[in-house]
Amino acid sequence: MENVFNEYESVFKCQKSTTSKVWDEMTKLECKNKDKLKAQCN
């Protein structure tokens, strides 16, 4: 049982780190888009 839990936990950590990388990329894109919008407004 313990082993299964450890495996699950490591998979979860792996997914979490991948998700945060994707989130970072999305956030960067959001910022770029906002900068473009600001440039258009000015």
Domain boundaries, the chain: 1-42
This prediction's pTM: 0.44
Helix (DSSP H) and strand (DSSP E) numbers for the chain: 1, 0
Residue 1 has what pLDDT?
A: 60
Dist CA 32 CA 26 (whole Å): 10
Structure confidence by residue, pLDDT tens digits, 1-42: 677 778 878 877 777 777 888 888 888 888 788 888 778 776
